[in-house]
Structure 1
Amino acid sequence: MWKHALFWVRDLVLAVFIALVVILFLYQPVKVEGTSMLPTLTDQERVFINKFAYRLGLEHIQRGDTVVFWFPGDPSKSYIKRVIGLPGDRVEIRQGYVFVNGYPISEPYVPDDYRDRSSMPAIVVPEGHYFVMGDHRSSSNDSRHWGPLPARAIYGKAVFAYWPLERLGIVQ
């Protein structure tokens, strides 16, 4: 009986060790600061980001991904925003609605009362860059203000919210 219990304890310790290695080296906990990603992410919410999916080529950055990056205006600060435009895309905003390559994009994550009613002339996202925006459009400092984001500034993809517990789940 003790032998069976020792095997069980060994397996449990091994599982916890593997989980810690994955969490500490593949994922990084990040605290959201500010309201620019409401309602998707709240101020002070904690999320895990995947640090290696993009860098190792396991995933490619897609429109709609929520990414964490070093802010181009001050690389000591990190921001979290949603990818709207990919390299080569033509992005335009008409009265708060985003058009990519001439077509309106579906944005179910932006409630109507969070939509900024301003417009922005069309720009073409340069190669090696992305156009990013916060979901709370009227309170977000994003590519509309400082231009397309260099790909090299992106260091992770938000994948899982873990705190507060009532917000536990996959980041959409």
Structure 2
Amino acid sequence: MTAAALGALGGVAGLLAVTVLLRRRLLFVTVAGLSMQPTLDHGDRVLVRRVPLDAVRAGQLVVLAEPVDGDPGGGTGALMVKRAVAVPGDPAPRATFAALAATADPVVPAGRLVVKGDNARLSRDSRHLGYLPGTALVGVVVRRWPLRSPAAPVAAGQPPAGRRRIASEGGTG
């Protein structure tokens, strides 16, 4: 093999390695539903950085595995996007979250977080589910990805090829 061929092969291998590393850290998702309006609309794409719970701050948009009814610790595989309202150690917002009213914790317990959709009327969030487990956290939204053309909207419930769908509407998360 020539030096040029070896160099090209090394460049391809390096590009492949970088791609694999980026895919472990970053994820593109497509919003499905209206619970994050006006911040995010149905069909918007977002870039998500995978992070542990201790890297999340109140106010950030987060992506979580959607809880299974009756088991907030489980997930369906579908994803949901919400705004982190309180993270471990923050005061527990019991007065505004009915599902937290009966808890005695003055602060959000370790390994848990409180989330809410920006469009509260259409959002299934901590007001209904209580504390969500940090193990359900996928990551934080880094930015909206401006690839969707206004002339070519995404059909309801159909994410573009190669993208994960985020559930964010009333009954789906």
The normalised TM-score by structure 2 is 0.61
Change in 2 beyond 3 A, CA 1:161/1:17 = farther
SS in 1 for 2:93: strand
What does residue 79 of structure 2 align with?
78
User: Is contact 1:32–1:44 with CA below 8 Å preserved after alignment?
Assistant: yes
Partner Cα separation in structure 2 for residue 93 and residue 164 of structure 1: 40
Shift of 1:154: 0.3
Greater RCO structure (CA 8 Å; 6+ sep): 2
Shift of 1:15: 9.9
What does residue 46 of structure 2 align with?
47
**What amino acid is aligned across from residue 50 of structure 1 in structure 2?**
R
Deviations 1:116-171 (A, max 9, x none): xx9x847543221001000111110000001111011101111121144579xxxx
SS in 1 for 2:110: coil
What does residue 161 of structure 1 align with?
144
Structure ranking higher in strand proportion: 1
1:108-119 matched pairs, under 5 angstroms: none
What does residue 114 of structure 2 align with?
131
Partner Cα separation in structure 1 for residue 102 and residue 86 of structure 2: 11
Deviations 1:10-43 (A, max 9, x none): xx98997687456433211111111111111111
Change in 2 beyond 3 A, CA 1:147/1:161 = same
What does residue 5 of structure 2 align with?
none
User: Is contact 1:81–1:134 with CA below 8 Å preserved after alignment?
Assistant: yes
The normalised TM-score by structure 1 is 0.62
Partner Cα separation in structure 1 for residue 93 and residue 102 of structure 2: 5
User: Is contact 1:91–1:122 with CA below 8 Å preserved after alignment?
Assistant: no
What does residue 90 of structure 1 align with?
92
**What amino acid is aligned across from residue 35 of structure 1 in structure 2?**
L
User: Is contact 2:44–2:148 with CA below 8 Å preserved after alignment?
Assistant: no
**What amino acid is aligned across from residue 154 of structure 1 in structure 2?**
L
User: Is contact 1:65–1:157 with CA below 8 Å preserved after alignment?
Assistant: yes
SS in 2 for 1:135: coil
Aligned residues: 132
Is 1:148 the equivalent of 2:131? yes
Partner Cα separation in structure 2 for residue 14 and residue 128 of structure 1: 38
**What amino acid is aligned across from residue 43 of structure 2 in structure 1?**
Q
Partner Cα separation in structure 2 for residue 67 and residue 121 of structure 1: 23
**What amino acid is aligned across from residue 110 of structure 2 in structure 1?**
E
SS in 2 for 1:73: coil
Identical-residue share of aligned pairs (%): 30
